[in-house]
Structure 1
């Protein structure tokens, strides 16, 4: 309806004035003229203001209407691919319980109701659980029943009636494949999937009149404004759920009048476009609910998983109240960091629900008495953020990130959630020990002042923080089972698992592998074997016009030693001498075939002077752990559509690098470092299963090792490439041991068997003195493996002949002495090989020298014991193995 405003003219006013008499003065006439001008100006200004206001309002209304239409048209939440873990395999005899299996199935999207889900359903049976995969399952639709007895899988019955030896459960969801830098997790839920108790809790604390207002609660807004003015701050808010939604989708969280006006405008737009149920559903999927490691938690569905490890529909009253309370300030109210605050807020929500009449006082009191029952707190690395980044990069280069997400592919990966958690925990424990060692090295006492005023202060030299990487793979499939790329993803996204660093002595096994390979490629009679003697003496090596002078740790040299002992004790000079003997080219070619592509055929190569990544070294070590076959580490197993159709399947690339007999001999030799050599830290840390491994030290600390079913590489170092001055035995081996101990507690990895040997490999018992076949007359023995035909042929008593003398023969003495390997702090270990062989005359001379030193030492206190303590130093100053004079021990 148009409103017409007519302004009276001066003549009209004059007539009205005249009708009241002509006694008006000239001054009154002039006043009316002035009144006429003010009325006209006032009305004109009002009209202009109205026009401007409605023009501005119309402009912004249309503007935000277009923005809302564009943002809300089609799929509101960006589609994303989903990343899944490897399936859990249950074998007959594995440790398991019905409740654990049911929990795994629920996490994988299965339901225990009759309808089930697209992934499947399950039913609990007496003594077992029956599983029915759905149409979108990773597996076929064949059902199975798993029976449990005495805490173990006693039988697996297939759906067709036959028994199965194993059954794979549905893979668990790891995360959505986020787009760009938006690292958030979200599980989309429909309004009818949100339990009433969750809706009631949210409305009670956030917006009680949600179903009555039109997007803006003017009364509450005015009340909040008055409170803000009275208390001189902007903390009251007064936003409805619709206004919060508009802010979350379209605006920044800053608190200004302009933003509040825009928020109200968009809220009105949303109310006109969507129903209340749709608005609540959008809100339930969009609202920030805190942080889990490096990922943001978005929406109630993901929050139910993150905080309680359950589906949203299974939330209880106190759980729903806790989530509703977190909406206000998720970080400040985090139940993990601030349980008291979270508990108080939850109870406030329960009181609010009583006020709105959705629950009774008795129900509220009972819920208040319920303690916080949270899922296990997240260790950031358990979410495998570095692994997810690698998967994202791999798929992005193959398909394109946009296509992957728009098609909502399901990415089935190799990651094992339980093993990933074990890796995260091991790194957390191990890096604390490294930090303590680094701090100790940087701390020194400084004398300040002189005379009576002198005092001693503690000074800590500044320096970088140690970083760490751990890669664990299945040595027989190449699948990456666990990966930690750094100590804290939130602080640094640099993935150290794929960062190139000098490998140090974990490269040495490839020198010895090339040497042992001579049993296959050359004359067996001239082959290098584990019992072959290598000279560990100071030596100058010439390569072209370059001079290379490696040094042993502490400049300790051992003379003639067996190859087995040289590897166990990581002797530098013996290793370079062996590489020279075998041929640098042969060593380099073998290493390149194993995947260490940066090596060059130089003497420094033998000590690990060239770079490789922890992931590359994991692949290289499969040559030893997998019977000579190199497997490329793989992260992705299968890419499928939402209906389960296969887009791509992936397998590790394999390459024959070593004869399986040589690989078995190397595995036997690599048990030496763990059992009595530089890697004995592993045993000291309580890991007792059969294992093979090697320490490494350059600028950084390494440990590479494997069991019959698991291969793991650990690296520790500084980002700025400075020397960490900690050996692999001190910094990396403890992390490896912590990981392996945890892995062994997982049913899939607990059966860490001894290493088998292929046909063509023999294990023989050798005399420690002569390194020949042992007989009862030579009782000090050790066991070693050889390629058949290359083992020693003579017996120890044949080699000794009559040198033992009559008394030695009578008392069973050998007449020759063995210098045993350096002792460990826990004493000697069985099957130690000899360090070197010494004749009776030489030993007599050594004994006389010792006596002389002991005698003069007693007199002058000058000489110290010349016994060699082979225990590796807890902290070392070593030179770079790239340079001449390397003293890197292991």
Structure 2
């Protein structure tokens, strides 16, 4: 199979990164340059060099402090086991431990470990250890492809990675590299021609240091956190595991590109200045729960605050589908056309001020069908529906959808007065998108040893949290949000036949803009706002939805077409009356209902002929069911 794209390394202890390499993968010129410059007697001594020790002792007697004299073995001991203090007693301890190391391991094992352990620089808060990662960081290539000049630069940095940093001190680094090359030539490891060619080469480092050791640090952060559930830090630090993730580079690239561009556009019209708007994106596979992309902020290469995982923000109307799902799970009392009162609503609570939610358009709309109340995100109707059902019952269903965070049983919670991260929102909507099957979101597929031996497979874990009928109904209602409600501007990016189901979310004073939506193959969550909680003056439809729409359009999503459960029937409904319609009713719509819950009464527009036709259709359907057992 094709070798997967490497997206980074995780070494949690001391914020260190490595890409482990075998000695056979390291270019011979690098090994020769290292030995020529750091320990020319490496293959003949027994862990210490008497001449080096003599030099160190002479330096100590001259009161210049201990310096030099360390073999590669001693350096390895110092890096692994000892403190950096420069005292005679520590030097003696280092010597004895080096001898013990030489007794128990052969030279190639010691050299390979040294090459993977040596400190070679700093990338912001992440220490770079080993020639494997250093090759990628400084040159953008794997270690086996390094030239003699590139190898010499890394060897030269062993003496002082900061002092000889090629990004900060290129002239100093060049001088040090050439000194290493000369010593390598003088020791017979390079010909004059090889030396001259390498000496005349430029430093050849990347024009700009990578902003983090992974091109996708936010996604890698999620991988790290999920790994820690199954491995302790000591294992992660020492085992050299290979982790196969669920990241889709095409999806990740689209999410990063669109978020950066849109945030820059939104910032142009703002008067607040820096820091600018921030955002986060999570994209998952609707069936497997695999996280395909995760963006933690507009600076996608910066491994800092991960908003996708850690920015718990008010979610606004994103909780409304859970309320309507709870209602639709009770078809004896609620259907998509059940009238809901969107009049003034007051919630009284002892010891607290009255709660009186208003609608986004500052208007009350009277009795409206349940599906319309969700499509247009009417707050008063939703609050009344949620309190009629019972706040505790709604919160229990939110938990069943996958939210583990504790939520207070207040009426205001129904309208999103609860803080969730984009990943938590993705978990909730994942259960809806998969038709009621709760699947924990995962970023890891498999973990193996360095040589490919499987250690752990992250099998798909699925639990049916809701029966298919109410999930089918809430999905149809959420498709109405996109077709005719607050998210109808999505048609600017995706054709109607994509049949997206989604929900916009906007919090008080437009501090947070959200959009959650799913197609036939992908779920996407987008959050836009300021880190300091300023009013962004952007709605979910005006800010988060355009990011979602442009991103999904770039991915050519599959249309959403959920299979209709056996317990669902489609009935033609007159939108004006909410009653049964037929072909004589202008503007009639076909809506799904749980079996036996559709209106029985016929709309005034229905014709007598239509009644007969409908009866014949129902008799034929009943006959087919008896004949085929369906």
Q: What is the TM-score of this pair, normalised by structure 2?
A: 0.71
Gaps of 5+ in 2: 609-630
Q: What is the CA deviation profile of residues 117-150 of structure 1, one whole-angstrom value per residue up to 9, with x for unaligned ones?
A: xxxxxxxxxxxxxxxxxxxxxxxxxxxxxxxxxx
1:739–1:623 CA distance, 2 compared to 1 (3 A): same
SS at match of 1:695: strand
Maintained 8 Å contact 1:201/1:324: yes
2:505 pairs with one of 685, 692, 696: 696
> How far has the Cα of 1:247 moved from its partner?
5.4
2:463 pairs with one of 645, 654, 665: 654
1:522 maps to 2:332: yes
1:631 maps to 2:442: no
Matched ranges for 1:139-538 at <5 A: 175-176=9-10, 178-179=12-13, 181-187=14-20, 189-190=22-23, 192-203=24-35, 214=49, 242=72, 245=76, 248-249=79-80, 258=86, 266=94, 270=98, 274=102, 280-291=111-122, 295-304=126-135, 306=137, 312-327=143-158, 330=161, 353=184, 358-360=189-191, 362-363=193-194, 372=204, 377=210, 380=214, 382-383=216-217, 384-395=219-230, 401-402=233-234, 408=239, 415-416=246-247, 418=249, 421-422=252-253, 425=256, 429=260, 432-433=263-264, 436=267, 440-442=270-272, 469-484=280-295, 492=304, 497=309, 500-518=312-330, 521-522=331-332, 527-529=334-336, 531-538=337-344
1:753 maps to 2:584: no
SS at match of 1:539: coil
Stretch of structure 1 that moved more, 293-302 or 549-558: 293-302
Q: What is the TM-score of this pair, normalised by structure 1?
A: 0.53
Distance 1:337 1:686 in 2: 47
Distance 1:294 1:755 in 2: 47
SS at match of 1:440: coil
Larger Rg: 1
Q: Match for residue 834 of structure 1? A: none
> How far has the Cα of 1:693 moved from its partner?
1.9
Distance 1:341 1:771 in 2: 80
> How far has the Cα of 1:331 moved from its partner?
6.0
Distance 1:409 1:276 in 2: 20
Distance 2:250 2:293 in 1: 6
Distance 1:798 1:303 in 2: 76
Matched ranges for 1:484-633 at <5 A: 484=295, 492=304, 497=309, 500-518=312-330, 521-522=331-332, 527-529=334-336, 531-542=337-348, 547-596=354-403, 598-599=406-407, 602-633=410-441
Distance 2:350 2:153 in 1: 73
What's the C-alpha RMSD, in Å, of the aligned pairs? 5.3
1:664–1:265 CA distance, 2 compared to 1 (3 A): closer
Gaps of 5+ in 1: 1-100, 108-171, 444-459, 745-749, 802-890
What count of residue pairs does the alignment treat as equivalent? 585
Q: What is the CA deviation profile of residues 135-194 of structure 1, one whole-angstrom value per residue up to 9, with x for unaligned ones?
A: xxxxxxxxxxxxxxxxxxxxxxxxxxxxxxxxxxxxx79645534x4433251534x553
Distance 2:574 2:51 in 1: 91
> How far has the Cα of 1:478 moved from its partner?
3.2
1:582–1:352 CA distance, 2 compared to 1 (3 A): same
1:504–1:777 CA distance, 2 compared to 1 (3 A): closer
Maintained 8 Å contact 2:252/2:292: no
Q: Match for residue 477 of structure 2? A: 669
Maintained 8 Å contact 1:325/1:349: yes
1:219–1:585 CA distance, 2 compared to 1 (3 A): closer
Stretch of structure 1 that moved more, 701-710 or 673-682: 673-682
Q: What is the CA deviation profile of residues 843-887 of structure 1, one whole-angstrom value per residue up to 9, with x for unaligned ones?
A: xxxxxxxxxxxxxxxxxxxxxxxxxxxxxxxxxxxxxxxxxxxxx
> How far has the Cα of 1:572 moved from its partner?
1.2
> How far has the Cα of 1:505 moved from its partner?
0.8
> How far has the Cα of 1:363 moved from its partner?
4.3
Q: What is the CA deviation profile of residues 396-451 of structure 1, one whole-angstrom value per residue up to 9, with x for unaligned ones?
A: 5xxx5557777x495866542637844873596279549937x93535xxxxxxxx
Maintained 8 Å contact 1:308/1:374: yes
> How far has the Cα of 1:708 moved from its partner?
2.0
SS at match of 1:702: strand
> How far has the Cα of 1:365 moved from its partner?
6.2
